[in-house]
Structure 1
């Protein structure tokens, strides 16, 4: 494990971020986490690299971040559950936020998660039900649906349209991603022009149960490990992620179910939303897994 900015101040929040071959997106995610309103000396980011074969191992050297930053590189691919558990075991904070490596967090993200847990000790807080996607790069492995969607979004902004058209003319057959969103775009929120909501669960009627899902019999489906917070003590009581789950599995729901059985209250808060940076997705592979 490599550590940068080893502050002496007690850590209150540990962000556990697994990543695998998402170098470009993860670099922007770390930048977003460096712009938080939460005190910089009071949170840490633990990036667990699940044996990436791209440039991800260089992120630790490149990252210019103000928070305590821990990089843990796996020599062999372990899978989502295992690397999250490794992150948990290296976490110093009493509050854990699980955040996927390609999630772009707005400035008040940590603060908005943390405020729920200050006065209550038995919560799971999620922003994942208010899912927002964003295209920060043109990735060479986008599927046809993603390409069509991106073309529609860039058509609304002259500068993004120019960048995309330049990519089509000069780099279309390259394996190198084309940057669309800059750090300045993150600072000014301009990147939101390339964002979109995809709220499957809320659109399916879940919103009628309110922020605390009162009366809903399956609240544990709100435990989506791409963006969720829980106290470490609750995890120690209920157990960590089940490492027998591999690939795209329901390992987060299964852990959420154990937390639910131990009486944890689930909270949906749209102010804790983060933006998922889109990457290439093989629909066939996801369905198979």
Structure 2
């Protein structure tokens, strides 16, 4: 039974494919354990497969409708039989131990995602007969991208990955357990043009609870420099900017679209980094604490609190309980980012499906604002705080109106993206209780000066 399917996107590079197939034939993993699927992205002539290879090879083809490597990989997966998918680009040369090193975790763990180590060599080495696994001639190794080296160091080889770590998921050396690949939705075939499809898949893999790892021992060589070193700087920047604009409609992390863009943009999957739920009725919050209320919330306070929330997280959807509000208050809340509900049992207050859930869910049981008169929210500081908490391993934050110290506790069950990731990592979710006074905020209170808030003096 085939355990591993090596999926190779291909376009008009027979020499590169021949070298890659020869490198795969030299793998220490027994050939009967893997197959190779060559996914041709519309080459004028189909690739030729050499005779005598020790593993099975099949070729699948799609029409030439532009650079569609992502669609080619997805097509290759549809024909693959393995429970582990090893994506290797056609211009890569894996060392003999590559597949064993890259596939060990995904074969043992259906949620595992492995990024190998892509190294770079002068293309002239193959003319001298060099093959992967041999020592390179002096001066033939080219520098690895510093941003990747730093990214893997900062994330402890992706063990401490967060919502911005998708940037270190490289499809040239990507191995994924089929189960988590399919759960995340696989490569998006809508990508046309160079780059971005691996980052977008990496982001979805992270959201659905994949266990990411950078395995340094899984080495494959690329002949020539990384993209950034191969192109004219101006031309390369144009390509990267086009990639960034494509990803902005698909990735909700601040490194993907900033902190304000992407409100309902066409092509989004509906995700946003932060969602704010303002629930003012009695009930149990997401961290298991019971909230009680003796009197309805002042409707002006509701309007001010929603305004403060939108100033803090401009791209966030805000769900707000308007059950005690009049027509004037509801008119003020007619904003495309605001969903007004009249009951805590309303469907809009139920945690959404994972592909629609925000990365962070901020639950407020009373309206809040900066405590100092005339002060306004600082969106950059708020986003930076969430990122610090994320990297500290906090899964959710409960804001309290009282004083006291911060408190971290563990809970057995937590809904949404954070709870999913905690469960996938085999641990209890970590909840931070944080007094709003520590952030320079305070409850809005009854009868606020709404005119002064909007005017800037209150």
TM range (shorter): 0.7 to 0.9
Deviation at 1:57, TM superposition (A): 2.9
Residue matched to 2:61 = 73
When residues 203 and 36 of structure 1 are mapped into structure 2, their CA distance, relative to the original with a 3 A threshold, is closer
In 2, are the aligned partners of 1:131 and 1:197 still within 8 Å (CA)?
no
When residues 85 and 181 of structure 1 are mapped into structure 2, their CA distance, relative to the original with a 3 A threshold, is farther
In 2, are the aligned partners of 1:220 and 1:266 still within 8 Å (CA)?
no
Greater shift, 77-86 or 190-199, is seen at 190-199
Give the TM-score, by structure 2 length.
0.47
When residues 68 and 202 of structure 1 are mapped into structure 2, their CA distance, relative to the original with a 3 A threshold, is same
Residue matched to 1:189 = 134
Residue matched to 1:144 = none
Unaligned runs of 5+ in 1: 1-9, 138-159, 161-178
Indicate yes or no: 2:24 matched with 1:33.
Answer: yes
1:132 to 112, 119, 122: 119
The CA RMSD over aligned residues, in Å, is 2.4
Residue matched to 1:7 = none
Residue matched to 1:22 = 13
In 2, are the aligned partners of 1:125 and 1:229 still within 8 Å (CA)?
yes
Q: Aligned ranges for residues 59-138 of structure 1 at < 5 Å?
A: 59-60=48-49, 62-77=50-65, 79-127=68-116, 130-137=117-124
Greater shift, 93-102 or 268-277, is seen at 268-277
Deviation at 1:97, TM superposition (A): 0.7
Deviation at 1:215, TM superposition (A): 6.0
Q: Secondary structure at the match of 1:221?
A: helix
Deviation at 1:212, TM superposition (A): 3.5
Q: Aligned ranges for residues 3-14 of structure 1 at < 5 Å?
A: 10-14=1-5
Deviation at 1:81, TM superposition (A): 1.2
Residue matched to 1:268 = 214
Q: Secondary structure at the match of 2:217?
A: helix
Looking at secondary structure, tell me which structure has more helix per residue: 1
Indicate yes or no: 2:226 matched with 1:239.
Answer: no
Unaligned runs of 5+ in 2: 240-458
Distance 1:27 1:86 in 2: 21
Name which structure has the greater RCO, CA cutoff 8 Å, separation 6+.
1
Give the TM-score, by structure 1 length.
0.72
Q: Secondary structure at the match of 2:43?
A: coil
Deviation at 1:135, TM superposition (A): 2.9
Rg comparison, structure with higher value: 2
When residues 192 and 262 of structure 1 are mapped into structure 2, their CA distance, relative to the original with a 3 A threshold, is farther
In 2, are the aligned partners of 1:181 and 1:191 still within 8 Å (CA)?
no
CA deviation profile, 1:195-215 (whole Å, cap 9, x unmatched):
333133344354133124326
Deviation at 1:77, TM superposition (A): 4.1
Distance 2:33 2:100 in 1: 11
Q: Aligned ranges for residues 125-274 of structure 1 at < 5 Å?
A: 125-127=114-116, 130-137=117-124, 180-182=127-129, 185-186=130-131, 189-191=134-136, 193=138, 194-204=140-150, 206-214=152-160, 216-274=162-220
